[in-house]
A and B are shown apart, each in its own frame.
Chain A
Amino acid sequence: MSTLSERILGAAAGEYVDRKVDRAYVHDGTGVLTLETWKQMGAERLSDLPQLYVLFDHIVPANNSTTATLQHELREFACGSFLNFSDTGGGICHQLMSEGIVLPGEVVVGADSHSCTLGAFGAFATGVGATDMAAIWLTGETWFRVPDSIGIHLYGSLRGGAEAKDLALSYVSRLGMDGGTYCALEFIGDGVKTLPMDDRLTICNLSVETGAKTGMFYADDVTVRYLTSAGQEAGPQLPEPCNYSRELEFDLADIVPLVAVSPRVDTVKPVRDLAGLSVDQVFIGTCTNGRSSDLARCAKIVKGKKVTVRTIVVPASRAVLAEAIRTGVLADLVGAGCMIGTPGCGPCLGAHMGVLGEGEVCLSTANRNFKNRMGVGGEIYLSSVATAAASALAGEITEPEAD
């Protein structure tokens, strides 16, 4: 009678375990420090047990020669060491790992806090810093404290203008910015089967904003079909009765469009309470909401109309961009006046593009609205894709219409 974390890690909550890692990945930001630290450990060769990945996404293409030089060194190492490598333009690390790579039951570690996204497949997926990652490159394993799990029961199905992102903001608001600290979130209940993989990835993505180690769905028919279409074989995981340290319930039919108000992700209000607030920029993309279904939903809302504020759309990966070209979504977005960025993290981290000026407001589909994150003196509000798209047309925070 175990939680999914206990089952995968092979020990009871609270115990410390050393676990072989199945897949470990870094990006252009954390990879530089990982490589430097791995060398300091006296390492000569990489551990051959985990599949290791280097996936460029944070500052792509490079914004200056310092960044370019650091990326060049890491690229040379990755290619020379036969690491799985995705260069500038390939897409966001978490997205690439979700495109038919991560499988149910695996232990997956990324040198990025949003590695929890991949718990959507029923993997134990979590983020670490560069030095922990360097040790994984060295030894192929790492230590974990098996987490307590918080059970989040979902019932019914989403309706109206509400999206998975609104559910995610709902649970973050309920738990607060540290309500999940050191725990895993397990999403269970009848409502789960109504959520496609894109929605599950969005929901797991925000788990770290509660402090959680990961967010997880049990693999089911939806997971298996998704992986099959990506060329992978997988079976479902059956939940069993287990002890949760805390339990929450959400009726998906009650979820309404929401906004997280600057500068805290857990200050969440209905869109209608903020309607009319002027925005200077809208950003649609990131590991939260940059997938094919997100871009399609955005295009459906803006098609044949014009955005009235600068609107940046960044596909999460090259595959997402290609799909948007194939389906005509890209033409609709460009026709409506949206800018399209290189697949990657885009303006989310405030390091190289789409930076805000003093006093400017951005409505973003990302997962973080910390003070000054996208530019000193700028304010970030977080919402679903539908709310962001409707607001881009109006130039102010606007409730999306029901489908």
Chain B
Amino acid sequence: MRGAGHAVCLGLDIDTDQIIAGRYLRTKDHSVWVSHIFEDLDPALAGKLNGAVIVAGKNFGCGSSREQAAIALRETGVAAVIAPNFARIFFRNAINVGLPAIECRLSCIEGQNVRFDLAAGWVEAGGNQYPIRPLSPRMREILTAGGLVNYWRVHR
């Protein structure tokens, strides 16, 4: 899987409450989560996310298991989230909803173009290539299928 986008840089330990607050969870309407994404962290972020690659610090997605966080990022048009490591439930949720979560340490600046190739195992930014920690074979299959719903539609 390949992709690219402009970098949106975030800090360390971004928890899922900050991605989508608890008060917006009780709906099946995904557009509610899109319209309130990162609201308590920085309301201006929402406008920058379509076509973006989020480059975050360690432990992205810690806290609550709310899958709405991963869905909101995907539905907002985020192409991938890159971080040195992820909280494990968010990591599984992201892959399960078809959002690439990429474990990689890279340095880049806000707005810079970031490209990634999961099969080849690299992320590129500012003319430098960085290695990524490969997904397990199962997670790669799930992501390639577009998420766990499609995976099970095919594998049953």
Q: A residues within 8 Å of B by Cβ?
A: 16, 29-30, 32-33, 36-37, 40-42, 59, 66-67, 70, 111-113, 127-132, 134-135, 138-139, 143, 145, 177-178, 181-182, 211, 213, 264, 349-351, 368, 370-373, 376
Q: Does B65 lie within 8 Å of A143, measured CB to CB?
A: no
Task: Determine whether the beta carbon of A131 is less than 8 Å from that of B23.
Answer: no
**Known interface pairs A41-B152, A138-B152. Does A264 touch B65 (Cβ–Cβ under 8 Å)?**
no
Nearest 10 A/B pairs, CB to CB: A178-B59, A129-B93, A129-B67, A131-B96, A372-B40, A349-B22, A113-B65, A351-B22, A130-B67, A67-B26
User: Across the interface, do A41 and B96 meet the contact criterion of CB distance under 8 Å?
Assistant: no
Instruction: Kindly supply a per-residue 1/0 record for chain B positions 43-66, scoring 1 wherever the CB is within 8 Å of any chain A CB and 0 otherwise.
Output: 000000000000000110011111
B73 CB to closest chain A CB (Å) equals 13
Query: Known contacts A127-B65, A131-B97; is A351 also within 8 Å of B26 by CB?
Result: yes
Are A40 and B149 in touch, CB under 8 angstroms? Answer: yes
Give 8 CB contacts A-B under 8 Å: A30-B65, A32-B26, A112-B65, A129-B66, A132-B93, A139-B152, A370-B17, A370-B63
Query: Which of A59, A181, A376 has a CB less than 8 Å from the CB of B40?
Result: A376
B75 interfacial by beta-carbon distance below 8 Å: no
- Known contacts A211-B62, A372-B21, A373-B17; A127/B26 CB under 8 A: no
Contact: B92 with A128, CB < 8 Å? yes
- The answer on a CB contact under 8 Å between B68 and A178 is no
Per-position contact with A for B105-148: 1 when CB-CB < 8 Å, else 0? 00000000000000000000000000000001110000000011
9 more A-B residue pairs beyond the given contacts A131-B96, A181-B87, with a C-beta to C-beta distance below 8 A: A16-B138, A30-B66, A33-B28, A40-B149, A129-B70, A129-B90, A139-B152, A181-B88, A371-B41
Max chain B C-beta neighbours (<10 A), residue from A67, A135, A178, A372: A178
Chain A: CB-nearest residue to B15: A370
Q: Say yes or no: A131 contacts B136, CB within 8 Å.
A: no
B25: Cβ under 8 A from any A Cβ: yes
Given known contacts A129-B96, A177-B59, A211-B88, is B26 in contact with A59 (CB within 8 Å)?
Answer: yes
Contacts of B65 in A (CB 8 A): 30, 111-113, 127-129
Inter-subunit contact B67/A351 (CB<8 Å):
no
A264 touches B136 (CB 8 A): no
| Structural contact, A129 and B92, CB atoms closer than 8 A | yes
The distance in angstroms between the C-alpha atoms of A135 and B149, with both chains bound, is: 8
Cα A181 to Cα B133 with chains together (Å) = 15
